[in-house]
Chains A and B, each alone.
Chain A
Amino acid sequence: MTKLLSPNNRNIILELKNITKTYTTGTNSFNALDGINLKIYEGEFISITGPSGSGKSTLMHIIGLLDNPTSGEVNLNGRNIAKLKEHQLAQIRNVTLGFVFQQFNLLAKTSSLENVLLPLLYSDVPKRDRQKIGLDLLAKVGLQDKTNNTPAQLSGGQQQRVAIARALVNNPKIILADEPTGNLDSKSGEDVMKFFHQLNEKEGRTIVFVTHDMDLAKEANRTIIIKDGKILEEKHA
């Protein structure tokens, strides 16, 4: 990884300004995030790491527009998302973001193909094009012969590849992955990471992934280490 990123020459795709997230239980309040400032540039490959309870997942949720910060500003493509309504946020999650989860989160009784096509239910891609998009993506992740299998008939690695195909189905600019290798054996985990590198290098997609594994985190171009809700350190590869 000698290729040095020069962030200043690129567009900022997502910017967090002084983000805090406070959880209150009874009289106790707890800052899960405490004054986070972060700029993510188009085409970056970023890892977020830190000990458990450090706030890395909360940060991921805010980046993924799944949660609102208690204070601070989130700008996506220069647009403040604070004022957007729930259905507008849903549309951004649908089209601009692609999610990959530790638990895969595939629908159990549904075939690989239908799982991949699920986000298209909520988008305006014409019905006649959907099938082909899904089949192409399954071929891309090497599962062209598993299109009709349900998740239970697939290995963990295969399930995660279905999930990646699902994340790509609306051709998103940003892929967000929360411990994507956490439930996989090391071989499958490597395959998944290899795939992320391809998406980043060949297709220029921005990738942000969360991991507690420092070694894995080093695979990214930029590693953000957080602790107690604050950014402790940023490392460029």
Chain B
Amino acid sequence: MTSLGIIIGVTSVILLTSIGNGLKKYVTDQFDSLGANSIFISPGRVFNDNGGFSQSGAIMTTSFSLKDVTNLKRKLDNVEITPANGVFVDISSPFNTQKSIEIDGSTQNFGINNNLAPSEGNGRWFTEEENSKKTPVIILGYQLAQDLFPNSSALGKKVIVKGKTLKVIGVSDKKGSSFGGPSFDKQGYIPLNVAFDLAGNNDIQSIIVKAKNKDSIESTKKQITKIMLEKYDEDAFSVFDSSQLLSSINSIISVLTISLTGIAAISLVVGGIGIMNIMLVSVTERTREIGLRKAIGAYPRAILIQFLIEAVILSCIGGTTGILLGYLGTLAIKSFFPAQVTISSVILAFGVSSLVGIIFGVAPARKASKLSPIEALRYE
């Protein structure tokens, strides 16, 4: 009962940090599955100077062309370059219509580079030949396939986009939704040249460059920037890799976690006041005991330490219970939300609760240590 405030405080601190950390790990995993070593070139400024997302980033002021792609291909060695063109269209099956679906036009490498290529039994990605011949084929995201063909397999079926009939040749594996990014499960993928026809222009909205390895990401990015600057303004395009995107999202999650944890910490302070209250009552109730201890030789410090330790034990019991409850709560949340208890949050919570014990135990303990022995012994 005494430690209830501390229990609630520690439980919520643990829970919130677990959710924050789980979220971070989830996002990281998502980005890893997006394809490591990928460098994205996109129009407009995506990041501001502080590493956060730029406000104007969403507005695509420029677009690239196939010329840029060939230019990059010519000047960069040893990298794979995939252009991409996304359009938002309505897509219909014989069963229903899905509105405003993002359909990405790209090349034959896009599927493998982004882990989107269908696995065995779910069809295949399109070929280079299908791209150059503008063969009307489409690969559906997992969710999109389910939505369009609720009761049967989408493979081999036809869908209609902007009056054009496309044959479903593959269904991507389930990717799950990604935070802050598009859901790959609700997208379709078609050959770039088919996309040009659908969009009515030959614009390329983003170019993905696959660096050889992690170490060459930075140097490749510099090269790309140099090449792109020949044609475009500094503000007209952005070159970034997934780690940059990741750190931006992570910094947002961190700020959220810290502020939520801060709110939870308030209940720790309230819990501390509860402990102080109980300890003050305890000092009053045990006035005679304190008097006796002093009479038989307890020095003031010994009494101070005794009561401090009791306060710390009380708050640590609360802290331990809170950690346990937080852990159990995290296990419960885990089934429908990413959450992860970290050692550091446990250590922090335990440290803070013992600190609360010390801070709020000092006043009662000092009071006890300063009692006069005779008055304390006479106390009824």
* Residues of chain A having any CB pair with chain B under 8 Å: 61, 64, 66-67, 86-87, 90-91, 93-95, 99, 101, 105, 107, 118-119, 121-123, 166-167, 170
Contact = CB atoms under 8 A, between A and B. Distances in A.
Contact of B297 (A61, A91, A105, A107): A91
A11 B190 CA distance: 111
A90 B297 contact: yes
A101 B296 CA distance: 11
Given A87-B300, A122-B296, A67 B377 contact: no
Q: Could you say which of A90, A91, A95 has the most chain B C-beta atoms within 10 Å of its C-beta?
A: A90
Interface of B: 288-289, 291-302, 372-374, 377
Contact of B293 (A66, A91, A118, A167): A118
Nearest to A86: B300
Given A90-B297, A90-B300, A118-B293, A61 B374 contact: yes
Contact of A105 (B288, B299, B300, B301): B288
B21 to A, nearest CB: 44
Nearest to A167: B296
A183 to B, nearest CB: 14
A84 to B, nearest CB: 12
A119 B373 contact: no
Nearest to A64: B295
A224 B301 CA distance: 36
Given A66-B373, A66-B374, A105 B292 contact: yes
Contacts of A61: 374
A105 B302 contact: no
Interface of A is mostly: helix
A99 B298 CA distance: 13
Contacts of A95: 297
Contacts, number: 55
Contacts of B301: 87
20 contacts: A64-B295, A66-B373, A66-B374, A67-B372, A86-B299, A86-B300, A87-B300, A90-B298, A90-B300, A91-B297, A93-B294, A93-B297, A94-B298, A105-B295, A107-B289, A118-B293, A121-B298, A122-B293, A122-B302, A166-B296
B289 A90 contact: no
A64 B377 CA distance: 13
Contacts of B372: 67
A64 B292 CA distance: 13
Contacts of B297: 90-91, 93-95, 119, 122-123, 170
A195 B15 CA distance: 64
Contact of B296 (A86, A87, A99): A99
Contacts of A107: 289, 292
A90 B294 CA distance: 7
Contacts of A123: 297
Contacts of B374: 61, 66-67
B377 A105 contact: yes
Interface core residue of B296, B302, B374 (most chain A CB under 10 Å) = B296
**Of B297, B373, B374, most A-chain CB atoms within 10 Å:** B297
Contacts of A105: 288, 291-292, 295, 377
Given A87-B299, A90-B294, 11 more contacts: A64-B295, A66-B295, A66-B373, A90-B297, A90-B298, A91-B297, A91-B299, A101-B292, A105-B288, A107-B289, A123-B297
A116 to B, nearest CB: 11
